[in-house]
Structure 1
Amino acid sequence: MTEPPSLTTALHSHIAQAIGAAGGWIGFDRFMALALYTPGLGYYAGGLPKFGHLPQSGSDFVTAPELTPLFGQALAVQVREALERTQTRELWEFGAGSGALALQLLDALGDAVQRYTIVDLSGSLRARQQERLAAHAHKLRWLDALPDAMEGVVVGNELLDAMPVQLLLRQGGQWHERGVTLEQGAFVWQDRPTPLAPPIPIEGTHDYLTEIHPQAEAFVRTLGEKLRRGALLLIDYGFGEREYYHPQRHMGTLMCHRAHQADDNPLMDVGAKDITAHVNFTGIVLAAQEQPLPVGQEWQLLGYTSQAHFLINCGLPQAMEQAPLQERALAAKLLMEHEMGELFQVLLLAKGAPWEAVGFAHGDRSHRL
């Protein structure tokens, strides 16, 4: 299934107008935001399927909760502990997708959750979530903006990777910001010198393309201001800073996904495919910890580890033993190093006094941040 030409054409025109209004050039973060989130036209604002096992379903990629409900059941072990330790009863999920993870968490946590708030910018996804979560309707609410004050446990599965990034290119020893302009009606790259640079020096003098993540870091700071009591659990693909900006990672991490195929050209088929970048988890933790907050409301780092270690700590292998063979095979992908087990990382931050979090009991990698 492909996006109707009228939608992709309309989005192309919308972005072209934005480029014209900006003087002929926009930074890639602006382009990515328009491509993904323009109301009614952007990739996440359209009505086509995005999450699923196979391209025949019209989906573009599969997420862990779509793969098997055992993911959410294992995640619920850590979420339940976080709710108890922070003495809260509300769950917040940002970018809830099809609602699969929300259903798994609500089913597993029962009365431990009094209210489940979904913050999602996509109206079409909201309709799918409402249908899928009908059995829990009495606990649910949807918001498209954050309240001034909130409490509870915040969950983001593959949330930060979809936040717009700025692209930086070192060429001839000079850093440039990579942006987008129009050439004969087509989107093309154009680089401009910039005072911006990656957060740590990149060894060598070779050309080097990478990303910085001001929006993801601003998201954590905003949560820091508004979350009075609670915790933040993030699952995404990414690295610590030293690995992210390794000299050999000279092509960056920007990637597009469509029909379970990947490509590295976000300027083509705009609006018809996902655009993502890996997460710099060190930057996320620093954004949280360096933020001045009232005493007792500072962010505490409770753990950082691979998805495989986290899910093993939360009892996934024991749950797999009770599952049918096909379910075990799917759940194994969550743990395998060459599948999701090592590619995805899990980060837990909390407000108030720290505790020994179950998901990081073995294999914590906080020292790598």
Structure 2
Amino acid sequence: MKPKHSLPTPSQEAQLHSEKLSQRIQQQLKRKGRLTFAEFMQMVLYTPNLGYYANSLPKIGAHGDFITAPEISPLFSQCVARQAIQVLKTLEHPSLVEFGAGRGVMAKNILLELDAQEQAIEHYYILELSADLQQVQKETLQTLPAHLFEKVVWLNSLPEEPLEAVFIANEVLDAMPVERLKLEPQQTSQAMVIYNETKQQFEWDYIPITDRLLQRFSNGILNFIGNPSPDGYETEINLNIRPWLKSVFEAMDKGLLLLIDYGYSRKEYYQPARVMGTLRCHYQHLAHSNPFFYPGLQDITAHVDFTAVAESGFDVGFKIAGFSTQAHFLMSSGLLELSTTQSDDITESLKIAQQIKTLTLPDEMGETFKVIALTKKTDIPLMGFQLRDLRHQL
């Protein structure tokens, strides 16, 4: 489809790449008639070699579409490492598992911090589906001392034998496919995706909700927002959270699952004023709301309902061990102490101060991003939630 005027036009090569994926989606639509938005999102993000997270186009950093906390400052990963160490010390066969490790920057800095703190681990597993990203991660991590690099093991799926480990997922939940709902005074609808042959573009198509789970969910939203306005109320639901957490629980013998992402508790997520939901697309560091813009070339995300994470985690067997803002988690995990040991150079110190502001200020990443801890057979007060634990808000 034609891009919005405010968004840069992709290169000819990128457009051809997107066209291949679009044709693949159109073939699926010819078979099924229409796709749920979650099915469409799954295809545009994860189709092998073509989907956004499965292709070789740059994603993170100045030449990509977004920036992540580990890329902003090594202090972020060092704080995560310190929280991990507290749990790793209690494990007989300690390992770490990172989901979707980006360019490998967080893995590198965590391994260096573990080494500095003399915390031994058996393995640092990286669960990465993209072969291109695996290669980028290897290039990043090969700069480590050999005794650290040899700890790294790449996986394509969760290990079959349960591990004693700390599992880390930074900005993983927001990239899971979501269903889109529209609530109106007289009806509730599920957003589907169709292809308009005349206009040569993908479009929304709304049908009455028939799925029992989605209907129950939409009824629950109405309890928060009351009667929707005639213009309707659009929002998302992530039906993948519970099965994903169940698979992680089964892959963990004992340990901690640390989830870091942007989102809200349910009461805040489904505010009456949030009429357009939280679906966001990112292309060359510009945020917009059109998920049909050049499929495969942009990131598509939705904020996380952390109440759903807590409920699903509890249902599958986890203990909810902590919930806080990213700012308070980092402060509790020694951010300021770590920052004072970084450099005596004034220019470098100013740079570090700016990084800390980006990670912690409310109008930056500090409050939009949350951290939730789920544990199994581990019952210790976690350091990252000592300053402020918001579990009561879930």
* TM tier relative to shorter chain: over 0.9
Separation of aligned partners in 2, 1:339 and 1:85 = 34
CA distance in 2, matches of 1:236, 1:112: 27
Describe the SS at the equivalent of 2:245: helix
Aligned equivalent of 2:88: 83
Which of residues 329, 335, 339 is equivalent to 1:310?
Answer: 329
Query: Aligned partners of 2:304, 2:64: CA distance in 1, in Å?
Result: 23
Change (3 A) 1:87 1:278: farther
Could you tell me which residue of structure 1 aligns to residue 39 of structure 2? 30
Q: Which amino acid aligns with 1:201?
A: I
Matched, 1:223 2:223: no
1:130 equivalent to 2:138? Answer yes
Is 1:192 the counterpart of 2:201? The answer is no
- Give 3-state SS (helix, strand or coil) of 2:90's partner: helix
Count, aligned residues? 358
User: CA offsets per residue over residues 218-267 of structure 1, 9 Å max, x none?
Assistant: 21111122312111000000011111112221110000001111000001
Write the distance in 2 (CA, Å) between the matches of 1:126 and 1:265: 29
Secondary structure of residue in 1 paired with 2:89: helix
Structure 1 range deviating more: 354-363 or 303-312? 354-363
The Cα of 1:126 is off from its aligned counterpart by: 0.5
Residues 304 and 366 of structure 1 are in contact (CA less than 8 Å); yes or no, is this contact kept in structure 2?
yes
Residue equivalent to 2:283: 258
Q: Is the 2:362–2:368 contact (alpha carbons within 8 Å) kept by the matching residues of 1?
A: yes
Distance 1:246 1:225 in 2: 34
- Which runs of structure 2 are paired with 1:142-181 in the superposition (5 Å)? 142-151=154-163, 152-181=165-194
Equivalents in 2 of 1:260, 1:273: separation in Å? 10
Find 1:41's aligned residue among 33, 38, 50.
Answer: 50
Kindly report the root-mean-square deviation, in angstroms, between the aligned alpha carbons of the 2 structures: 1.4
Q: TM-score normalised to the size of structure 1?
A: 0.94
User: Alpha-carbon deviations, 1:177-199, whole Å to 9, x = none?
Assistant: 10100112310000111142336
Cα distance, 1:146 vs structure 2 = 1.6
SS at match of 2:64: coil
Task: Please state if 1:299 is matched with 2:324.
Answer: no
Q: 1:5 aligns with which of 8, 15, 33?
A: 15
- Within the candidate set 53, 60, 66, 2:65 is matched to 60
Q: Deviations over 1:23-50 (max 9, x none)?
A: x100000100100111111111111211
What residue number does 2:259 align with? Answer: 234
Shift of 1:72: 0.5
The structure number with the bigger radius of gyration is 2
Q: Which runs of 5+ in 2 are unaligned?
A: 1-9, 343-347
Offset, 1:145: 1.3
Do the aligned residues in 2 keep the contact of 1:88 with 1:230 (CA within 8 Å)? no
Cα distance, 1:311 vs structure 2: 0.3
Contact persistence 1:80–1:112 (CA under 8 A): no
Question: Following the alignment from structure 2 to structure 1, what is the Cα–Cα distance between the partners of residues 86 and 320?
Answer: 15
- Return closer, same or farther for 1:88/1:300 CA change in 2, 3 Å cut-off: farther
- Per the normalisation by structure 2, the TM-score is 0.88
**Is residue 204 of structure 1 aligned with residue 227 of structure 2?**
yes
Tell me, yes or no, if the aligned pair for 1:86 and 1:231 is still in contact at 8 Å: no
Cα distance between partner residues in 2 of 1:359 and 1:266: 35
**Equivalent AA in structure 1 for residue 54 of structure 2:** A
Higher deviation after alignment, 42-51 or 198-207: 198-207
Structure 2 Cα separation of the partners of residues 62 and 85 of structure 1: 33
Give the Cα–Cα distance (whole angstroms) in 1 for the partners of residues 93 and 311 of structure 2: 25
Query: 2:369 matched to 1:349?
Result: no
Instruction: Pick from 157, 172, 182 the counterpart of residue 195 of structure 2.
Output: 182
1:273 and 1:88 map into 2 onto residues whose CA distance is: 40
Deviation at 1:353, TM superposition (A): 4.1
The unaligned stretches of length 5 or more in structure 1 are 292-297
Identity %: 37
**More moved, 275-284 vs 111-120:** 111-120
Judged with a 3 Å threshold, the aligned counterparts in structure 2 of structure 1 residues 286 and 86 are, in CA distance, closer, same or farther, namely farther
Tell me, what secondary structure is at the counterpart of 1:80?
helix
Q: Does 1:368 align with 2:380?
A: no
Q: Is the 8 A contact 1:238 1:280 kept in 2?
A: yes
Residue 121 of structure 1 aligns with an amino acid whose one-letter code is L
Whole-Å Cα distance in 2 between the matches of residues 173 and 115 of structure 1? 55
Distance across 2 between alignment mates of 1:68 and 1:169: 39
CA distance in 2, matches of 1:359, 1:162: 24
Write the deviation string for residues 77-111 of structure 1: whole angstroms up to 9, x where unpaired. 10111212344411000011110110010110124
